[in-house]
Structure 1
Amino acid sequence: MFSRRKRRSSRPRLLALIGSAALAVAGAVALPTTAQAANVLSNAGFESGSTSPWTCSGGLGSVVSSPVHGGTKALSGAASSSDNAKCSQTVSVQPNTAYTLSGWVRGNYVYLGVDGGASTWTQSPTAYSQLTVQFTTGASQTSATIYTQGWYAQGTYYADDISLDGPGGGGGDTQAPTAPTALKSTGKTSTSVSLSWTGASDNVGVTGYDVYSGGSNKLLTVSGTSATVSGLSPSTAYAFTVKAHDAAGNASAASNSVSVTTDQGSGGGTGFKQAAPYFYTGWGDPPSPATVMNATGVKWFTMAFVLSSGGCNPAWDGQRALTGGQDQTAINAIRSAGGDVVPSIGGWSGNKLGPNCSTPEALAGAYQKVIDAYGLKAIDVDIENSDEFENEAVQDRILGALKIVKANNPGLRTILTFGTSTTGPTYYGNRLIEQSKALNADIDVFTIMPFDFGGGSDMYGSTVNAAEGLKTKLKSVFGWDDTTAYAHIGISGMNGLSDQQETTTPAIWTQVKDWSNSHHIARLAFWSVNRDRPCAGGGVAENCSGISQDNWQFTKITAGFTG
């Protein structure tokens, strides 16, 4: 069994999360799950081009064509210092009945709720984030006012694809519409699919259509007989159906199913490319990230590390709040300089979320807190040691959680980082890959850490051999060709001296970067920017590489990775 030794002066290994896309898989991909009842709201996706029947305070609501979550339109609310741009719609409901309200929002302090009842909010997502709240109507309640709003002086917010799932209060109308027919794809890109269908009929009148993926996962609601589903993953198969609904909330049977595979992204596979060395604020004399960016041209950083602060609660290093501290300060500086981050969750040591969260759903909730805190495009889970990597139940829990957050955050990229032998994945690495397929986890990038092999002088040869072994395994499990398999591979090395005294020089790392570019892999990283400084003969240290080099030399080499 391959094991890995870590000490505090080097890299604490952690699982990481990251943002956006999907692997090419056979069959449908799960997307955000909501109840299957009809959407009671009208113009829920604002596809009509007007806000009606929504009413917005202060005349501050409008319909825009960008940014959108689904379709071609979304709501924009221009909150001011004196008005929160509240947009609401009153609908008929049934007494003593459970409803689920959900919607996709972005902006600072965006709220979704029902007047006089439950509400929820999110702080500052820079990409669309889903809000969901459940409520039960009163014993004699026959109407409910649904709203979304921003907050005073927090700027413009956006909302799209708002859904109130449950029975409508349609005055005794219990007849469902007929099913839509002739569903077909009318176009596609690497991240979107356009659909059209023949409309349904109803004894009173059809008020909208709900588009589903995988049979039960509602994506968006439109008023007409066409829709464009966006935020999808390149080279990925999706199965779509459509249902009609009326004003009473009666939903039709599903239309015929149509399967569509999105186009290939740039470079094959997921189209996702990332040069993202590790940056750690916890120790190791952390440098100014903006200084490093200006000196090297690097744009992405893998931010270490998210652990459990007790139970299923995420925190930086298990002790610093997700927002408001030194980690957020660093992330803000990186983004202000035109870059972005992917948090690393898990690792070799520390109190991790995987063993502490009892179910995939609970673990997904912890991951979601990290995603929502920063509006992430990608997450990385660094799965190591006997408590996670060599624990089959926890492996499956992590894969299940990543499947859930991928479904609930269209466009989010998910990365798994794990150890390797010189010839490719170990027993537990092979199992992780096999289970990701069996559980339809839709992982975007499988990143190996080719160091701490237990000695060895040929770090370039060992790294390439390990990556080729991973490629062979991915081809075997997923049925991919070479190009697609390479496009789902990541390499995360260790600059200078490793824990086991292996040496990776700038020249060797340049060879690794060149090989990675020529084989069009997805991700290149190393541990760490904190160590990317010279200290020849300094041993394995937290703030220097232990070898002779220039400041930020490995980071500059890594910035040359384009995939």
Structure 2
Amino acid sequence: MSTPRRKLRTRVWAGAAVAALALSLSTAVEASAADINNAKNAGFESGLSNWTCSANSGTSVTTPVHGGTAALRAAPSGQDNARCTQTVAVRPSSTYSLSAWVQGGFAYLGATGTGTTDVSTWTPDSTAWKQLSTTFTTGASTTSVTLYTHGWYGQQPYFVDDVSVFGPDGGGGTDPGPTIPTAPTGLAASGTTSTSVNLAWNTVSGATGYAIYRDGTRITAVTGTSATVTGLTASTSYSFQVTATNAAGESPRSTAVAVTTPATGGGGGGTVPKHAVTGYWQNFNNGATVQKLSDVPAAYDIIAVSFADATATPGAVTFNLDTVGLNGYTVDQFKADVAAKKAAGKKVVISIGGELGTITVNNSTSATNFANSVYALMQQYGFDGVDIDLENGLNATYMTQALRSLSALAGPSLVLTMAPQTIDMQSTSNSYFQTALNVKDILTVVNMQYYNSGTMLGCDGKVYAQGTIDFLTALACIQLENGLAPSQVGLGVPASTRAAGGGYVAPSVVTAALDCLTKGTSCGTFKPARTYPDLRGAMTWSTNWDATSGNAWSNVVGPHVDALP
């Protein structure tokens, strides 16, 4: 008998940490010719000169570096968050652009003593250099401010390089000015679909940003060394180049890379509808309505059977129907119901993980075991594919290998869904996001859990609270603008207030969020810069909790998803 489990999460520390910050994010103002970088030893080339780090938490290192030959490494420990500060001379009643490049664990950048509104910005852990930036205005009598960086309690060390307090000369001296960077090298394209392509290139010393050119026209600017270009046309040839930029100017263009988009886009799923509703079906009794698979309403296009169980073989899974907990539901009845759902045009997948799921895929052997065992369950029960709902960590390298192997076994009809937590999709550097992008060509949909997470950052850099339309739309925007196709993004929400610890929104809020993202209507405070009419749809935990509420969720959301453009 399976152990009763609920899809609940109690880890809201990331949201709480965000809520504790008074973030002030804005676009840097254009500097005048007389403006300078007022920070000293901004690249840590002189060790920690001009810097003070709490509890001896900081040190100058030679790798990784963003520019020059050194960077700051600061390690939080115990009750110390590795705060490093510098007092900078500034001019009263003046506006300054504050920025720094960060990498590693959670990293924060801010300024205090401004005489007006102190500012702060942050980013979750990142495996690549990322630029933090904000602006502040000094008070009428302010002649110095304290800039700072810090990490977060219990998190990994963070790295900082190329700090800048750019604005009017405060009279305190400065580091030498930048020179125009050299052209980027190593430009390469990957993951090409009918509408998008992933570009990556080598870091250029001294660069603070990069510009991307398509067929000779500048189309966008980024701060990192990779980008996903969207809006391409199928069966079309393109030429891409990249330049490096900083305050001194723009480099020559890189060597061009040619890309030809295929006739059809990537993504798996066989005959999954353009817009689909996903529901998790509980193979256990936790107080919600006990269902047979045949009881699941027709509004659900994809049914995720929850959950598979770990075995003694690393990476391998099995499925044990909870016949006792499901009031005598037999394996033969279950198999017949799976077949009936499929005959009705529905997809039934086996979900791996859940709150208490501990399946580990961390080497080639366990990846092979995972693929073989999931495929065996597909053959035994008739499942159409697999849902990845690992809430206790995921290794991107070997989960990618496992899913590729499963795809090779199952063929193009494989339905592959995912249900990461909100923190897992805050950045493309996170393992879950990396995995989704790695298997984009076979991925059906990512139904991120927009609940049990407190507050999180949206794609506009602002903080949003769960349980609101803005939380759904601004966080979905992160996935939509960072590599996933709209058809691979769904909104995962609880079916009722009892289905999750927090983050419930009424079905009407879900439909409004769908309209905002697909049509640009019914938005809250956040409105996306463009619409995504191919958005896949919505997901709920669970069909059982939905039934407990008289199917109030699927009765509203189901028809609305079907009517999307």
Q: For the superposition of Structure 1 and Structure 2, which TM-score range results when normalised by the shorter chain?
A: 0.3 to 0.5
TM-score normalised by length of structure 2 = 0.43
Which of the pair has the greater relative contact order for Cα pairs under 8 Å at 6+ separation? 1
TM-score normalised by length of structure 1 = 0.43
